[in-house]
Amino acid sequence: MKKHIPNIITCCNLICGCIATGAALPANYFWAIIFILLGAIFDFFDGLVARALGVSSPVGKELDSLADVVTFGVAPSAMLFSLFQEVQYPEFMLPLRNIMPYTAFIMAAFSALRLAKFNLDTRQSTSFIGLPTPANALFWGSLILGQHAFLVSGRFNAFFLFLFMLLFCFLLVAELPLFALKFKNLSWKDNNVKYIFLLGCIPCFMLVESSFAAIILWYVALSIIAPTISSSKDYD
């Protein structure tokens, strides 16, 4: 029975992703992000439990990726699908109004590609190259839920949403190193980028309605400029 516990936890992640997708399609964004968050919690603990019990297996790794595709790929894409049906369309895009929502699932495909690359890339054992799929899912969930009124207003439209989606599809698979968040010690010299990141999170948390989205944007932006200010091996 012990060897099945991590896979049961992974299946809970998968079920959360399915429920999040089901909630997202009728634009129930609140419950969609709640179940994406629950899925992220299960995703964190399945590997932890597998290592603690000493029962890691190739089946568990494959199952974990399949669950992540649903929870962090399909579910946020379903949220985008619904949002594309609500946003304003500029005149030149009106003939595409019934087609554009389906382009949201391009992000699910890029999420699957990101997970496949991660499984084979030995460089990502202690840090990330490209935006992790949970971060991408939490970004879109937080943005859509917290900034919904702006996104469906006349100040925004489907063209901008499509470009923004393509940008994040690129970030998922880009050769962009994201600094490691683990602290090996507490010195400023070895952790200056991490401390700057944590300090920057404080005003992000003040943006309660979309704090996750703000934090992830800050993390990506700081990762881009980190090599110019870092005096440590933050990418090791």
Q: Mean of the pLDDT values across residues 134-150? A: 93
Q: Could you give the percent of the chain with pLDDT greater than 90?
A: 53
Delimit the domains of the chain by residue range.
2-178, 179-236
pLDDT classification of 129: cutoffs 50, 70, 90: confident
Q: Mean of the pLDDT values across residues 21-43? A: 95
Specify whether the CB–CB gap between 154 and 88 falls below 8 A. Answer: yes
Q: Mean of the pLDDT values across residues 28-57? A: 88
Residue 104 has pLDDT above 70, yes or no: yes
Q: How far is CA 75 from CA 14, 18, 58, 91, 138, in A?
A: 10, 7, 25, 29, 10
Question: What's residue 230's pLDDT?
Answer: 59
Q: 32-36, 68-72, 196-200, 202-206: which has the minimum mean pLDDT?
A: 202-206
Specify whether the CB–CB gap between 16 and 46 falls below 8 A. Answer: no
Q: Which residue has the higher pLDDT, 124 or 61?
A: 61
DSSP secondary structure code for residue 57 in this structure = -
Superfamily the domain 2-178 falls into: CDP-alcohol phosphotransferase transmembrane (TM) domain (1.20.120.1760)
Residue 47 has pLDDT above 90, yes or no: no
Q: 123-127, 154-158, 162-166, 228-232: which has the minimum mean pLDDT?
A: 228-232
Q: Could you give the percent of the chain with pLDDT greater than 70?
A: 90
DSSP secondary structure code for residue 126 in this structure = S
Residue 235 has pLDDT above 50, yes or no: no
Residue 35 has pLDDT above 50, yes or no: yes
Q: What is the pLDDT of residues 164-208, one digit of tens each?
A: 999 999 999 998 888 766 666 677 777 778 888 888 888 877 766
User: d(Cα 18, Cα 46) in Å, to the nearest integer?
Assistant: 18
Specify whether the CB–CB gap between 103 and 162 falls below 8 A. Answer: yes
Q: Which residue has the higher pLDDT, 56 or 143?
A: 143
DSSP secondary structure code for residue 153 in this structure = S
Burial letters 25-47, b for 16+ CB under 10 A, else e = eebebeebbbbbbbbbebbebbb
Which of the residue ranges 22-36, 49-63, 216-230 has the most confident prediction, judged by mean pLDDT?
Answer: 22-36
User: d(Cα 27, Cα 140) in Å, to the nearest integer?
Assistant: 13
Stated pTM of the model: 0.85
Q: What is the pLDDT of residues 78-101, one digit of tens each?
A: 999 999 999 999 999 999 999 999
